[in-house]
Chain A
């Protein structure tokens, strides 16, 4: 058996993790994006446990992300969703809280709401703010906030849900997509739950409870009876065993593997339930587990377009117009604020096809062709740090390539110094970025 049991959420041996040079980069990539050199250097000064704690802790945001963050409302006021998307990408590019950023993306996909119907950047921003602020909160809090979120109510026709003519859209997605998953509820449960949400409307861009439209009569939902409101429905749903399994499976697919084993799934569901749906606690367990560092899971996920483009920009320290990053991700199939359906993006293998792969390769080519002072700025000499004139050992060059998130180079085994390190770096970088492995993380 491997030192890292792929089905176990038991803690991995810290000594083994310390001896494993790939452990830290793997953690940083999965719990965020491909890291910058500065992030890598900083992470290497801590052990894995401390690094996980720092990722989970609500640490201070970077200056660049903070100053952009403060502009969100004024950008949204233009009601230009493309500008707001660019704003989000700028924050993703510069965030010092990559795990929180990843979680916001995860919840944006989980509670998929599209501006194509909402047509309101301010409301989409408000929903994103909710997802970000409650990303690591108890799930009940997040669910309740989202069930009262104006964009969600518009998206799932909350205003049409009134006593005597319940609209089932929200109740259906609550069970099918947000908590239980298909097959774990009945059509009667949906109808009854919809009655509990009658009168949950929006007014002037805010949640508005309309008592006249609320059905306060008794309901039977998932085997329980009472004069339930929407809050009660959430409590009842979270108490279902299926909820923990459904959420655990989604979290494992996001952070560990697209195909978790039954044994791992059971363990994750237990861990999630035991944490009382506190994701901070669950993710700490996951990120320190043997399964998380199991070799077969490393490099097994296909990067989402946002992971790909943001990771590329962060790891190669590329400066680019935020709209360019956003447009690239859109062309690769992930247009933030506009998920394709209530199910969100399917992810993994569906990210890659002949068209989207071409866009990814074009993005790589654009970056590698960029100049240090152009609209898209890339400075490989700066990445090399030692400068292009000085000689560099193959091992040092290999380390630099590895630091940029490239697959480990094997041919750089000679001990002879490289006389033109910048050229060698660029050519090796090109080979590796265009390799299939670079699409994985």
Chain B
């Protein structure tokens, strides 16, 4: 079995950088890692990572933030900070400078066999740029912790010599010491001995493996960390043979199984997990790949990434866009092979769902007429929905949701009519069911929007009357009316969560759209009719198995609309005063305000499963409390 992955993540494979040869600084930190290591994380420019992190945080004025103040109030944090600052001061540095010095110019953290067969040891090696400063700090720590005696000699009870080097031992048995230009920390004496032996013998080292040299060289200046895990070694080191047995993951849940069963198979046959973490401007990108020892079983072929189609529209352009989750599957095959990834009960639920849909969609068979017509990913979209113009205010105020399926039905012109009629029938039956349960029911309307036939709904009775079990029908509720002035806040009625959902549907240019609000339906139709896929959507054309996109500002807008609700729930949950909870929630929302976007893609291939995650921070992100208006319920 190869020690390093067959193929490194795309980001690594494509990156050729100005690599500083190890000789410029002496030994590589990989020289200290035995080739038996089960996993490692390598930071080629560790000190720079610390410096950049500091720079990023300072640009956000983190020390003026409530979050920072709340963190400092946590038990033990302030004393630990003071102790660290004291240590740094000994070396004439501030806290960040000390962290930078300790991180060195290279850092590797590895897991390898330790004394305990069920618990791997941790080995951390940093190659120092500022050895004198680090030595000053270590001397201070040793004196403070009693690791050296009054005459300056090592305390025999807290030190040990291994392979000619002096190591200090803390009460938990962790060892640390200086070896040449490096600082070595290890939680296991046997792992440390193996590491030093390998280093001294210049053999059986991680750096001796043929795969290491290209790995060490093939990174760019933006690469912050490289990681690698050998599944078999990891299982051996942790004595957990079932650690990766995820073939049966979420077998009892039809929706969960449809999402993760392919990943479960990849994990069940995992050989290695490897990847990298890189930065680009204010974006952080994680790329990782699970390499398999065997091909994905034929019964799971439905999970293989499908040929990419051209998306009908770019969801991120929808007003108030919060997020989108897309699944690309071979749906007919998925339905046919359901018993291969679901247990009997869950497979039965899947069949029941299909049968119910068949019943509701009168005349259309869900499995035979509908699923085979799906031509692209199934998309779930969430967008902020304002109730400012509404006479009522649901509690909580949920976003509007949309479910969009791309269908091919050119060979059956009647299909569109049958599908639309089936949708109307489904909503009618659902409304009847709600009425029987005493829940708010719908009035259904059909009409046109920009020449497209649409179906919309609105609530049939005033919210309050729907709460009484026996009340007669009250005034009709037309929902938010953009042309009307917003009602006075005091006149608005708090209503249950149900009032977030007013189904609407349309079939536009082959896109079958079901939404929970008419506004969102209209916005999607606008996008389909007005815009060809933009630059962002070009990326959509790349094949993926799953894709999750989240807009930081959209998500934050939805959270802010529910500020009071979040605070209330937290007050009840934590039994804390309102002022403190408001501060906590504001701080958390402020943290959320840092994020511009989140983008995650997975790609299932016959012998690998890969994941790419990009997290982009706002360019003007700040944590400072004073620089932002009070975060309050925007609906208030």
Interface residues of A (CB under 8 A from B): 63-64, 67-68, 71, 73-79, 83, 86-87, 90, 93, 117-123, 150, 154, 159, 202-206, 319-323, 373, 375, 377
Query: Beyond A77-B495, A77-B496, is A204–B468 a contact (Cβ under 8 Å)?
Result: yes
Other A-B contacts than A120-B467, A154-B469, 17 sampled, CB-CB below 8 A, are A63-B577, A64-B577, A71-B571, A73-B494, A74-B565, A78-B395, A78-B496, A79-B497, A90-B572, A119-B469, A123-B467, A202-B471, A204-B468, A205-B467, A320-B575, A321-B573, A322-B575
Assembly CA distance A439 to B396 (angstroms): 40
Task: Find A322's partner among B393, B472, B564, B572 (CB 8 Å cutoff).
Answer: B572
Write out the residue numbers on chain B whose beta carbons fall within 8 Å of the beta carbon of A119.
438, 469
Report the minimum CB–CB distance from A310 to chain B (whole Å): 12
Assembly CA distance A323 to B568 (angstroms): 13
Is B574 an interface position by the 8 A CB rule? yes
Report the minimum CB–CB distance from B573 to chain A (whole Å): 5
Are B469 and A204 in contact (CB-based, < 8 A)? no
Q: Which A residue's beta carbon lies closest to that of B395?
A: A77
Are A205 and B465 in contact (CB-based, < 8 A)? yes
Write out the residue numbers on chain A whose beta carbons fall within 8 Å of the beta carbon of B447.
none
Beta-carbon contacts of B370-410 to A below 8 Å, as 1s and 0s?
00000000000000000000000111100000000000000
Query: Beyond A74-B494, A321-B573, is A205–B469 a contact (Cβ under 8 Å)?
Result: no
Are B468 and A75 in contact (CB-based, < 8 A)? no
Write out the residue numbers on chain B whose beta carbons fall within 8 Å of the beta carbon of A122.
464, 467
Task: Find A204's partner among B393, B395, B396, B474 (CB 8 Å cutoff).
Answer: B474
Interface residues of B (CB under 8 A from A): 75, 393-396, 438, 462, 464-465, 467-472, 474, 493-497, 564-565, 568, 571-578
Report the minimum CB–CB distance from A305 to chain B (whole Å): 19
Q: Which B residue's beta carbon lies closest to that of A322?
A: B572
Assembly CA distance A64 to B565 (angstroms): 17
Write out the residue numbers on chain A whose beta carbons fall within 8 Å of the beta carbon of B395.
74-75, 77-78
Assembly CA distance A205 to B469 (angstroms): 9
Are A321 and B467 in contact (CB-based, < 8 A)? no
Report the minimum CB–CB distance from A61 to chain B (whole Å): 14
Assembly CA distance A375 to B462 (angstroms): 40
Are B468 and A77 in contact (CB-based, < 8 A)? no
Assembly CA distance A302 to B238 (angstroms): 54
Task: Find B468's partner among A205, A323, A375 (CB 8 Å cutoff).
Answer: A205
Interface of A is mostly: helix
Write out the residue numbers on chain B whose beta carbons fall within 8 Å of the beta carbon of A64.
577
Task: Find A373's partner among B75, B497, B564, B565 (CB 8 Å cutoff).
Answer: B75
Sorted nearest first, the 8 A-B pairs with minimum C-beta distance are A77-B494, A79-B496, A319-B575, A120-B467, A204-B465, A205-B464, A67-B578, A77-B395
Are B575 and A154 in contact (CB-based, < 8 A)? no
Are A75 and B568 in contact (CB-based, < 8 A)? yes
Report the minimum CB–CB distance from B389 to chain A (whole Å): 19
Report the minimum CB–CB distance from A127 to chain B (whole Å): 13
Report the minimum CB–CB distance from B582 to chain A (whole Å): 10
Query: Beyond A77-B494, A205-B464, A373-B75, is A120–B573 a contact (Cβ under 8 Å)?
Result: no
Write out the residue numbers on chain A whose beta carbons fall within 8 Å of the beta carbon of B474.
204
Are B472 and A203 in contact (CB-based, < 8 A)? yes
Task: Find A68's partner among B393, B394, B571, B573 (CB 8 Å cutoff).
Answer: B571
Assembly CA distance A440 to B565 (angstroms): 38
Write out the residue numbers on chain A whose beta carbons fall within 8 Å of the beta carbon of B464.
122, 204-206
Task: Find B572's partner among A77, A123, A204, A321 (CB 8 Å cutoff).
Answer: A321
Are A205 and B471 in contact (CB-based, < 8 A)? yes
Are A120 and B468 in contact (CB-based, < 8 A)? yes
Assembly CA distance A373 to B76 (angstroms): 12
Report the minimum CB–CB distance from A120 to chain B (whole Å): 4
Q: Which B residue's beta carbon lies closest to that of A372?
A: B75
Q: Which B residue's beta carbon lies closest to that of A318?
A: B575
Task: Find A203's partner among B471, B565, B571 (CB 8 Å cutoff).
Answer: B471
Write out the residue numbers on chain B whose beta carbons fall within 8 Å of the beta carbon of A375.
574
Assembly CA distance A150 to B472 (angstroms): 14
Assembly CA distance A137 to B564 (angstroms): 33
Write out the residue numbers on chain B whose beta carbons fall within 8 Å of the beta carbon of A71.
564, 568, 571
Write out the residue numbers on chain A whose beta carbons fall within 8 Å of the beta carbon of B396.
78
Assembly CA distance A217 to B393 (angstroms): 45
Q: Which B residue's beta carbon lies closest to that of A157?
A: B470
Report the minimum CB–CB distance from A90 to chain B (whole Å): 6
Are A323 and B572 in contact (CB-based, < 8 A)? yes
Assembly CA distance A322 to B574 (angstroms): 8
Assembly CA distance A243 to B623 (angstroms): 65
Write out the residue numbers on chain A whose beta carbons fall within 8 Å of the beta carbon of B578.
67-68
Are A67 and B577 in contact (CB-based, < 8 A)? yes
Q: Which B residue's beta carbon lies closest to that of A118?
A: B469
Write out the residue numbers on chain B whose beta carbons fall within 8 Å of the beta carbon of A377.
575
Write out the residue numbers on chain B whose beta carbons fall within 8 Å of the beta carbon of A206.
464
Q: Which A residue's beta carbon lies closest to that of B571?
A: A68
Assembly CA distance A73 to B465 (angstroms): 16
Report the minimum CB–CB distance from B317 to chain A (whole Å): 33
Assembly CA distance A83 to B468 (angstroms): 19
Are B572 and A159 in contact (CB-based, < 8 A)? no
Assembly CA distance A90 to B581 (angstroms): 15
Are A90 and B575 in contact (CB-based, < 8 A)? yes
Write out the residue numbers on chain A whose beta carbons fall within 8 Å of the beta carbon of B471.
202-205
Report the minimum CB–CB distance from B165 to chain A (whole Å): 41
Q: Which A residue's beta carbon lies closest to that of B472?
A: A203
Are B497 and A321 in contact (CB-based, < 8 A)? no
Q: Which A residue's beta carbon lies closest to that of B75?
A: A373
Query: Beyond A123-B468, A373-B75, is A83–B577 a contact (Cβ under 8 Å)?
Result: no
Listed A/B pairs (9) with beta-carbon separation below 8 Å: A71-B571, A74-B565, A79-B496, A150-B468, A154-B468, A204-B462, A204-B465, A205-B468, A323-B572
Assembly CA distance A320 to B396 (angstroms): 23
Write out the residue numbers on chain B whose beta carbons fall within 8 Å of the beta carbon of A154.
468-470
Assembly CA distance A75 to B572 (angstroms): 11
Are B568 and A74 in contact (CB-based, < 8 A)? yes
Assembly CA distance A86 to B573 (angstroms): 9
Write out the residue numbers on chain A whose beta carbons fall within 8 Å of the beta carbon of B571.
67-68, 71, 90
Write out the residue numbers on chain A whose beta carbons fall within 8 Å of the beta carbon of B465.
203-205
Write out the residue numbers on chain B whose beta carbons fall within 8 Å of the beta carbon of A373.
75
Q: Which A residue's beta carbon lies closest to that of B494?
A: A77
Are B575 and A120 in contact (CB-based, < 8 A)? no
Write out the residue numbers on chain B whose beta carbons fall within 8 Å of the beta carbon of A120.
467-469
Q: Which A residue's beta carbon lies closest to that of B474?
A: A204
Write out the residue numbers on chain B whose beta carbons fall within 8 Å of the beta carbon of A79.
467, 496-497
Assembly CA distance A356 to B471 (angstroms): 39
Report the minimum CB–CB distance from A352 to chain B (whole Å): 27
Write out the residue numbers on chain A whose beta carbons fall within 8 Å of the beta carbon of B495.
77
Write out the residue numbers on chain A whose beta carbons fall within 8 Å of the beta carbon of B565.
74
Write out the residue numbers on chain A whose beta carbons fall within 8 Å of the beta carbon of B577.
63-64, 67
Write out the residue numbers on chain B whose beta carbons fall within 8 Å of the beta carbon of A77.
393-395, 493-496
Query: Beyond A64-B577, A73-B494, A204-B474, is A86–B572 a contact (Cβ under 8 Å)?
Result: yes
Assembly CA distance A150 to B572 (angstroms): 27
Report the minimum CB–CB distance from B436 to chain A (whole Å): 13
Query: Beyond A74-B564, A119-B438, is A83–B467 a contact (Cβ under 8 Å)?
Result: no
Task: Find A87's partner among B75, B462, B572, B575 (CB 8 Å cutoff).
Answer: B572
Report the minimum CB–CB distance from A158 to chain B (whole Å): 9
Assembly CA distance A203 to B471 (angstroms): 5
Write out the residue numbers on chain A whose beta carbons fall within 8 Å of the beta carbon of B564.
71, 74
Are B575 and A93 in contact (CB-based, < 8 A)? yes
Assembly CA distance A379 to B313 (angstroms): 57
Assembly CA distance A119 to B577 (angstroms): 30
Assembly CA distance A86 to B571 (angstroms): 11
Are B468 and A321 in contact (CB-based, < 8 A)? no
Assembly CA distance A74 to B75 (angstroms): 34
Q: Which B residue's beta carbon lies closest to that of A122?
A: B467
Report the minimum CB–CB distance from B167 to chain A (whole Å): 35
Are B572 and A202 in contact (CB-based, < 8 A)? no
Assembly CA distance A68 to B564 (angstroms): 12
Assembly CA distance A71 to B572 (angstroms): 11
Assembly CA distance A121 to B498 (angstroms): 14
Assembly CA distance A377 to B576 (angstroms): 11
Assembly CA distance A67 to B579 (angstroms): 10
